[in-house]
Amino acid sequence: MANIHYFTLTIAILALASSVAYASDPGPLQDFCVALDDSRAGFVNGNFCKDPLLVTADDFFYSGLREAGNTSNPLGSLVSPAFVAELPGLNTFGISMVRIDFAPNGLNAPHSHPRAAEVLTCLEGTLYAGFISTNPQHRLFAKVLHEGDVFVFPRGLIHFQLNLENKKARAMAALGSQNPGIITIANTLFGSNPPLPTEILTKAFQVDKRVIDRIQKQFQPENIFDE
């Protein structure tokens, strides 16, 4: 009987270890695997590798985060990514980063990353940053960040940043995936394609149909900005 219990415990531990091991991007099996943009190759979980003999330093370089993003939009913020699509050398490394620019009092709206935790550093200005835990507690964890302060957002949880000052702000964030994904809550619920049935949204938010219709209209493709 003791042997059976030991065997069961061993299997449980191995299963848990396996689930943890596959909870993030797979590790590289070579020095590097520069992403190859070739749609003819079909679909894979990640990207195909460029021939190592054709790889250059430019595959590991990206200058797209030098300039401030255009924050002239309803939210007053813009996220500029350095994901594998912009920086092919990230492929298989399980990391990426973004630059976030804020207009005065701008907001990086509540959103989540299904494939990555995030570490954010405030570089300029003052930000109110936080995340909300899962059901049923829905606890809000938030702090006011000043220049040089760092805040962590757990993987998959809804989080946000708000510029508290009437001047520009800027932040950089590192994420634990080459392609973390983003689910912006308002855009997803009210701007889905095709639209969610009104009955679902009225019951979920406990509001009148006219309220839902008005909100959905704001998130139609012609009325929203590119993120």
Which H/E stretch holds residue 123?
strand 118-124
- How large a percentage of the chain has pLDDT more than 70? 80
- Does 23 have pLDDT greater than 90? no
Q: Is the pLDDT of residue 8 over 80?
A: no
Comparing 28 with 217, the larger pLDDT belongs to 217
Q: Mean pLDDT across the chain, nearest whole number?
A: 87
Q: pLDDT per residue over 125-166, tens digit each?
A: 999 999 999 999 999 999 999 999 999 999 999 999 999 999
Residue 136: asked if its preceding bond is cis (omega within 30°), the reply is yes
> Rounded to two decimals, what is the model's pTM?
0.82
What secondary structure letter does DSSP report for 69? P
162-209: per-residue pLDDT in tens? 999 999 999 999 999 999 999 999 999 999 999 999 999 999 999 999
Distance of alpha carbon 25 from alpha carbon 63, whole angstroms: 24
Question: What are the angstrom distances between the C-alpha of 120 and each of 22, 59, 98, 172?
Answer: 24, 25, 9, 6
Residue 46: per-residue pLDDT: 76
Rounded CA Rg of the chain? 21
